[in-house]
Amino acid sequence: MVRRSGQAASGVAPGPYAARVSLLIPTHALPPLSYRIPARLRAMVRVGTAVVAPLSGRHRLGVVVGIENESARAREEVVSVVPDLSLQPELVEVCSRIHASAAVPLPAVLRAALPPGIETGRYRIIEPSPGWPWEIDATVTRPALERALGPDGLRAAEAEGRIMLVPSAPQPATVEWAVIRAAAEPDLARAPRQRDLFVTLKEHGGEIMTSTLLSETGASRGSLRELVRRGAARLVRRQESAPLQATLGDHVVQEGAAPFSRTAHRAVKSGGPFLWRTKGREEDAAVVAIVTATLEEGRQALVLAPEVGSVERLVDLLRRALEEGHTVAPYHSGLGRRRAAVHEAGRNGSVDVVVGTRTAALLGLARPGSICVVDEPNGAHRAEPGHEGLPVHVRDVALERARLQRAAVFFLSPCPSLRIYAPEVRRRERIRELPAGRPGPWPAVRILDMRGSGATFSSTLQRACRRCIEGGGKTGVVLKRLGYATSVACSRCGTMKICPNCDLPLVSHGRDGPLACTRCGYREEPGPCAKCGSTRVRQTGLGVERARAELSDLLGTRVGLITAEERDHTDAPVVVGTPPRILDGEWDAVILPDADAFLAGSGIDVGERSFRLFYGAAAVARKLLLIQTHVPEHYALRAGVSGDYEAFAAAELPRLRELGYPPFAHAASLTFEGSEAALSGAVESHLRPALEAGVEMSGPFLLGRTGETTAWRVLLRAKRRPAVARAATLAARISARTRGLEVRVDVDPEEV
């Protein structure tokens, strides 16, 4: 009998029993293994307990995911337990469900729920052999053991129980402080730099971090060393403090907050998932109301924001808005080792509110009360390959936590993802919609039909810019920075080249190269427009650098630039930039000179992304939104500029249903890297014959070559997500057994 995660243990079973342990090795090839639990550890082991267990003669860290009263498969014993790294049973069940639905290796999901930077390279000496240079209970690093004992000797020492792996959360880093010595009053009349240092030290109460001291005074480290040599101060190293911040009770969110407060209190009390279509500044009021209601229930709140900047802004907001007597902490990669302190504070209940990026989605809470996902459709809520976090959107994690931890979950956005807004999804997940915010002021909107025009910037656009400049206003120009692939459209009628299989824009990987679908691999040669026969077919897309230079020449004024990588002359009357940066502020006029570049983007959610862009552009324009396009009748454009989310959803959902896209069907993108022979053997000989009924698979299509490595994409599709996830997991296991082949799995990607 196996008691899985999520099932409560009722006492300790008599006699020998075993644990199913998922060793934290991020691969699909290693399932949870059975280990006997020695009598001395039985009272300490439950689902979620972190343990050390042997694998091939080496100690490994793992998490118990099931308890077995009897097991003939268990051949080896659990070595030790690690209480400081253990997880709640409910959180282990959340991880198991994410593993099953997203085809992410279970060890990788469990690892995401543990504190970052775990130290797994230290051993305790249990029984030293004669001649060893270490005594009992000494702590030694693995490299030191390997140097002294050799690889075989280290393996033997582990197998014989002479040493034991002792994993631990990362210790806090130490930082240098400058401290005034008691009664120090040096004569610094002829040393102005040292005098500045000493005065600043006294202003800070006699002690301050060295980095802060040097930054505030502009003094050199040499001047500080001379002050120390005089005996006026000393330098000491101290542990970094945990980033837990006390609330101030300034009540900064007051005006118009009462309706949000009433709504949030009712929702937090009832629990479950909610969709709240807040607009603009209403979002802050909603976050404060949700957190306040959660704290009044004596529980903890988790707020998930898409970027580090928004995390820090919300931490500052909550510190000032909440009553005194609570603690708020950020959680993001910029904190380094200090994240471990926040992780522990969440687990032991000593922090009331945690505001984090996607890496906090699986953060354990002693008293989980609410999870608030800010800007729910933002793509940053899901990790891209090579970035920290799981390739799973935080909304999926939050929904699982709502089911298992009885927490209230809130998805905030004026334009939520159709993956949770679709009526079928709301019924299945029991998502309730809270009252939407009141419509705010809306700018005048002009859509310029550019069909038949070869101009990059129309005379109407130029006049609008000049009028704004003459009136002392600021204009934001939004452009999509081009990647390597660009979409193709007719200059005469605006018709885009579309894949006949997927209804997605075809893209060109060169000026005269063939057109290809990034989803199914369909290809065709460039040719005249299929609708009007015109040969004036162009690649869409206008880069920010070119637009900046041309606008500066046309308008005769300085034009600024703002992108993720660069900020230049942002105080200019006209600023060109990419959407995340331009739409983060407010402008008198917002201009989109090439709306087609967004409408012709790649990905199954291109319609949603375009709608949100147009809606966001209107929301930050005080007076005017001006758009140039060759497809002025496009439903995403028309609905976006009028702020009509319901009209957009009514047009887009039937299209997604007809094409079999999420949320009505499900897909997995498999990106293989290796030789063509290895790929063919894995995909055609092993994967395709093993697919269960109802799962469709596309033929592999080439993505590109780098040296001897070739990248290919295979797409799996099915009506049910579990079927797609099982097939994707099978592909990962087959790849792990195939020499020279690697695969990256992405189930229901936001973009394909």
pLDDT for 424 equals 95
Average pLDDT over residues 298-315: 97
Q: How far apart are CA 228 and CA 526, in angstroms?
A: 73
- Mean model confidence pLDDT for the chain: 90
Length of the chain: 752
C-alpha to C-alpha distances, 377 to 235, 416, 605, 611, nearest whole angstrom: 48, 6, 11, 12
What's the rounded Cα separation, in Å, for the pair 419 and 422? 6
The whole-number average pLDDT for the span 32-39 is 94
Three-class secondary structure of residue 641 per DSSP? helix
Region 351-379 average pLDDT: 97
Give CATH superfamily name and number for 666-747: Ribosomal protein S10 (3.30.70.600)
Residue 666 near residue 718 (C-beta atoms within 8 A): yes
- Three-state secondary structure of 178-243: EEECCCCCCCCCCCHHHHHHHHHHHHCCCEEEHHHHHHHHCCCHHHHHHHHHCCCEEEEEEECCCC
Q: Do the beta carbons of residue 715 and residue 518 sit within 8 Å?
A: no
The larger pLDDT score, comparing residue 708 to residue 457, is at: 457
Domain range list for the chain: 2-165, 174-239, 246-434, 444-482+541-658, 666-747
More confident residue, 75 or 359: 359
Higher pLDDT residue, 658 or 709? 658
Say whether pLDDT at 512 is over 70.
Answer: no
What is the architecture, at CATH level 2, of domain 444-482+541-658?
A: 3-Layer(aba) Sandwich (3.40)
Q: What pLDDT, on a 0 to 100 scale, did the predictor assign at position 541?
A: 60
Instruction: Tell me which residue of 74, 75, 57, 56 sits closest to 66, measured CA to CA.
Output: 74
The two tokens of residue 522 are: 């369909």
Closest residue by Cα to residue 4 from 130, 79, 70, 96: 96
The residue with greater pLDDT, 622 or 513, is 622
- In this structure, of 119-128, 422-431, 541-550, the range with the lowest mean pLDDT score is 541-550
The mean per-residue pLDDT over the stretch 103-115 comes to: 96
- Please give the pLDDT value at position 2: 46
Mean pLDDT of 491-509: 76
pLDDT of residue 575: 97
Q: Are strands 139-141 and 272-276 parallel, antiparallel or unpaired?
A: unpaired
Q: What is the pLDDT of residues 56-65, one digit of tens each?
A: 989 999 999 9
| Chain segment 590-628, per-residue pLDDT in tens | 999 999 989 987 778 899 999 999 999 999 999 999 999
Q: What is the pLDDT of residue 15?
A: 42
What confidence tens digit (pLDDT) does each residue in 436-480 have? Answer: 877 778 999 999 999 888 788 999 999 999 999 999 999 999 998
The tokens 């004569």 sit on which residue? 187
Radius of gyration for the alpha carbons in the chain, expressed in angstroms and rounded: 30
CA–CA distance, 29 with 22 (Å, rounded to integer): 12
pLDDT at 102 over 90: yes
CATH topology match: 246-434 vs 444-482+541-658: yes
Dig out the tokens for 607 from the structure: 């319609």
pLDDT digits (tens, 9 = 90+) for 671-690: 999 988 999 999 999 999 99
**Alpha-carbon distances, residue 519 vs 91, 107, 391, 504, 523 (angstroms):** 34, 29, 18, 8, 11
- What percent of the chain has a predicted confidence (pLDDT) above 90? 74
What residues contact 485, with CB distance under 8 A and at least 6 apart? 507, 508, 509, 518, 602
Asked if residues 59 and 165 have their Cβ atoms less than 8 Å apart, the reply is yes
Per the listing, tokens 């980095």 go with 211
DSSP 684: I
Predicted local confidence at residue 511, as pLDDT: 52
Q: Which of 10, 27, 119 is nearest to 69 (CA)?
A: 10
Instruction: Give the per-residue pLDDT at 7.
Output: 46
Determine the longest span between alpha carbons in the chain, in angstroms.
90
- All residues at 6 or more sequence positions from 40 whose CB lies less than 8 Å from its CB, including other chains: none
The reported pLDDT for the residue numbered 483 is 36
pLDDT of residue 10: 44
Cα 152 to Cα 165: distance, rounded to the nearest angstrom: 16
pLDDT, residue 12, reads 45
Would you put residue 486 in left (φ > 0), alpha (ψ -120 to 50) or beta?
beta
What is the phi/psi pair of residue 285, to 5°?
A: -60, -40
**Which pLDDT score is estimated for 493?**
77
Report residue 481 as tokens.
């920075």
Looking at per-residue confidence, does 392 or 12 come out higher? 392
pLDDT at 453: 82
For residue 685, the 8-state DSSP code is: I
Domain 246-434 classified CATH 3.30.1300.10? no
Is residue 137 over pLDDT 80? yes
Q: Which band of pLDDT confidence, cut at 50, 70 and 90, is reported for residue 433?
A: very high
